[in-house]
Structure 1
């Protein structure tokens, strides 16, 4: 008998974490649970899962940034992104980060199983609920936007999209943490977004990085 697929679940909601573990534990070997992106990276190094089921809206390091880091360090690992939102922009950003599948929470477990199977085989899976919106979004003409970002803000934004924290950005760009914090605040204001995940979505969609 072939060994079960090794699965890591990354979810900060304890009830959702429990539900995913119970739903997937019969078919797969659930090797561990993480509550944020940093935990996902640490446990991947320790436990060597083959597939990661990753919530997109994680504390500290979100699913998009965590996926980018994981794919750089473990290019063969498969990531199934989970979200409660039906946002075409978010789906595009998730797939651009390297995710192999994008699945809506709360749907039938069969869809998640299909997403895992597709990812395991090296295919890309997009939840049917969002697929049509993504295609429409990609094919619709997008207005050319000038966000008036300075070169330093673009440097900071690139590292934000790659998942680096403010202290890490400060070290890479030889800036003080307070200066980076000011740049991040300015970037969020200019992009008219509320957080780093939304900034990554806008940056990836508009080719800013």
Structure 2
């Protein structure tokens, strides 16, 4: 039997994951928490075989970065990232952080249980791409990497000059990209563009600090 830790800040998804795990004879639920920063301590105190880890967790703690710390502590602990947000960089970062598998929440118990069993059997399960989300007149798959970078920076509310400095672009180039995003989506203002991108989870930028790391960067 495999010991499982759930890290999920939203009550309903967390309760559903608890039900799924408790109904499976091969898995034993050890703990279910809402803050990713507590996960490593639980791993140090209890025998954990598998973690279902959300990305956005309570108090702004980033599950992807916490997962990296756990992997450094014990690489034998299997970790499945679970999220509903289509932020494209998370798939890439999960692979870079040696996360075992990645699952988009869809309410299907058979899906997550299958990923859990296959992950414990040594497979690495990753979706080919993020889910398709309608974003104004476009979808999240209609944008280049640079356009997504601009979207993430827009969420900060900073000026074109400040955004340009971080991305190595001129303020006029940033303005040009923003206009292109407005044209594609049909939104009328940069504020509307940023707000909808953030609410749909298409673009998320971190600005939090970790107790064991330097600034991770982003606003959420």
Hey, what does 2:20 align to over in structure 1?
23
Hey, what does 1:175 align to over in structure 2?
none
Q: Residue 194 in 1 paired to residue 191 in 2?
A: no
Considering fraction of residues, name the structure with more helix.
1
TM-score scaled by length of structure 2: 0.59
Name stretches of at least 5 consecutive residues in structure 2 with no aligned partner. 133-143, 150-165, 169-205
Residue 130 of structure 1 deviates from its aligned partner by 3.4
What is the correspondence of 1:8-157 to structure 2 with a 5 Å cutoff?
Answer: 8-27=5-24, 28-59=27-58, 60-127=60-127, 130=130, 147-148=167-168
The structure with the larger Rg is 2
Name stretches of at least 5 consecutive residues in structure 1 with no aligned partner. 133-140, 149-160, 171-183, 196-209
TM-score scaled by length of structure 1: 0.62
- CA displacement 1:122-179 (0-9 Å, x = unmatched): 22101366399xxxxxxxx967x9835xxxxxxxxxxxx9x962x6557xxxxxxxxx
**Which has the higher relative contact order, 1 or 2, with Cα contacts under 8 A spaced 6 or more apart?**
1
Tell me if structure 1 keeps the 8 A contact 2:86–2:131: no
The count of residues paired between Structure 1 and Structure 2 equals 155
Tell me if structure 2 keeps the 8 A contact 1:80–1:100: yes
The runs of 4+ residues in structure 1 deviating greater than 3 Å are: 127-132, 145-148, 167-170
Q: Structure 1 pair 88/26, CA: closer, same or farther in 2 (3 Å)?
A: same
Q: Structure 1 pair 15/50, CA: closer, same or farther in 2 (3 Å)?
A: same
Hey, what does 2:152 align to over in structure 1?
none
> What's the Cα RMSD here?
3.4
CA distance in 2, matches of 1:164, 1:50: 27
